Amino acid sequence: AQSVSQHNHHVILSEAASLELGCNYSYGGTVNLFWYVQYPGQHLQLLLKYFSGDPLVKGIKGFEAEFIKSKFSFNLRKPSVQWSDTAEYFCAVSGNTPLVFGKGTRLSVIA
């Protein structure tokens, strides 16, 4: 069965700080990885996804993630966060079943 772990429950950063959110997955087969963002009171939106090829994936709004197969990880990064990045971030994995989500990481960006 697929599972996803997000280690950070709540991250608080100042504007312009760099961000890295951890995500580890467990799945024995070919894996597809996603990061979704949920802004306060809104639905989930896709930030980026990895299926194959270059393990460094660039998404919207300056986010990127790196797939490291040996570590079963897909960490999300952004060099400089903005107040508008305040949101809940979900890592998800899909193999032969629908998306399985991690428990989410709440990011609070303060001025």
Partner 1 sequence: DTAVSQTPKYLVTQMGNDKSIKCEQNLGHDTMYWYKQDSKKFLKIMFSYNNKELIINETVPNRFSPKSPDKAHLNLHINSLELGDSAVYFCASSQQLSGTAEAFFGQGTRLTVV
Contacts with partner 1 by CB under 8 A lie at 32, 34, 36, 38, 42-46, 49, 51, 88, 90, 94-101, 103-104, 106
Rounded to a whole number of angstroms, the minimum distance from the CB of residue 105 to partner 1 is 9
Based on CB atoms, which residue is closest to partner 1, 19 or 37? 37
DSSP state for residue 39 in the 8-state scheme: -
In angstroms, the CA 58 to CA 64 distance is: 4
For residue 88, the minimal CB distance to partner 1 (Å) is 6
Residue 14: burial class (beta carbons within 10 Å; 0-12, 13-18, 19+): exposed
**Cβ closer to partner 1: 19 or 31?**
31
Cβ-based neighbours of 82, under 8 Å, separated by 6 or more:
15, 109
Nearer to partner 1, 74 or 79 (CB): 74
